Amino acid sequence: MNDFKIRSIIVDDEAGSIFTLKSLLGEYCTEVEVIAVSDNPLEAIELIRTMKPDLVFLDIEMPYANAFDLLDQLKPVSFEVVFVTAFNEYALKAFKYAAVDYLLKPVSITDLKESVERIKKKVQIPSVNNQRVDELLNSLKEPSNHSNILSLPSLRGMDFVELKEVIFMEASGNYVEINFINGKRLIVTKTLKDMEDLLPREKFYRIHHSYIVNMLHVSRYVNGRGGQVVLTDGTPITVAVRKKIGFISLLKKFKSRGQGNS
């Protein structure tokens, strides 16, 4: 087994991080063979497809495409993944749930060696696909039926959004700004159409080309050609004429169930 090698690729947009990780692997984890590196996630997709590594060390926050966008293009994922991240403990709960490996920046030698030991055991057991990573990717796209939390790729990497805390969402090009009841705002790397497809339709409604509102936080509707809603934080938003009938219908159903705010 001395000749056993884990063929690996490092993907990170920072050259310094690639150099550091590659150096640590070369000195402390000699069973890992770095066959390629990439600082461009879009380029890395073809690199991974072509070279078919056993393992990919994957930075999460990168320009143009984050780690989850990259993996989504490679499904089903047939290699092991070690995420390299600066996420806090709350965000890491999703990783722990899916039993995927991760390293916190700055990478410690002890954590790296332990991660490689875990990966070594997995790599030696052939598998058609990495179900743990697939589970994680699915969790990013689907709200949890139990916790009512949506996992979303953001400018920082990945954020966990509690749906009842959301007042409204506003389109900003290829991004969406989410507004919360505590005044917090979060920019996520999704379009408003993406969000519309992800959100439960009985609770969220796209009242305008640029806005989705949480029906729970509709305080008042002002009649007009399209009309206007006033949300619980005082924000007024115009209802598009073509959206009025659908919105009024949902609003009546929502209020009749006693779920709205008076």
* 3-state DSSP assignment of residue 240: coil
Predicted pLDDT at 27: 97
Whether 261 maps to a domain, the answer reads: no
Please check whether residues 136 and 192 belong to one and the same domain: no
pLDDT confidence of 262, banded at 50, 70, 90?
A: very low
What are 181-227's pLDDT values in tens digits? Answer: 999 999 887 889 888 888 888 899 999 999 999 999 999 999 988 89
* Global pTM value: 0.55
Same-domain pairing of 134 and 22: yes
Determine the average pLDDT of the residues in 34-61: 93
Name the residue with higher pLDDT: 21 or 61: 21
Q: Are residues 175 and 111 in the same domain?
A: no
The Cβ-side half-sphere exposure at 85, using a 13 Å CA radius, reads 22
Same domain, 209 and 108: no
Going through the chain in order, the beta strands assigned E by DSSP cover 6-11, 32-38, 55-59, 80-85, 101-104, 149-154, 157-162, 166-172, 175-180, 185-188, 204-208, 211-214, 218-222, 228-231, 236-238
pLDDT at 91: 52
pLDDT at res. 1: 45
10 located within any domain? yes
Residue 165: predicted pLDDT:
93
Assess contact for 208 and 235: CB atoms under 8 A: no
Asked if residue 134 and residue 12 are part of one domain, the reply reads yes
Q: Are the beta carbons of 48 and 40 closer than 8 angstroms?
A: no
Final residue of a domain: which of 98, 125, 140?
140
Q: What is residue 260's predicted lDDT score, i.e. its pLDDT? A: 54
CA distances to 101, 166, 168, 179 from 183, in Å: 34, 10, 11, 7
16 shares its domain with 119:
yes
pLDDT reading at 98 higher than 50:
yes
Q: What is the pLDDT of residues 107-159, one digit of tens each?
A: 999 999 999 998 888 887 666 566 667 666 665 555 444 447 777 766 666 67
**Peptide linkage before 143 cis (omega within 30 of 0):** no
13 lies in a domain?
yes
Which residue range(s) make up the domain with 209? 144-256
Mean pLDDT across 70-80: 86
pLDDT at 19: 96
Domain co-membership, 22 together with 84 = yes
CATH of the domain at 247: 2.40.50.1020
CB 181 within 8 A of CB 232: yes
Same domain, 130 and 26: yes
What pLDDT sits at residue 148? 72
Q: How many domains does the chain have?
A: 2
Q: Is 262 within the bounds of a domain?
A: no
Look at residue 248 and give its three-state secondary structure. helix
Q: What is the CATH number of the domain that holds 95?
A: 3.40.50.2300
Q: Are residues 131 and 175 in the same domain?
A: no
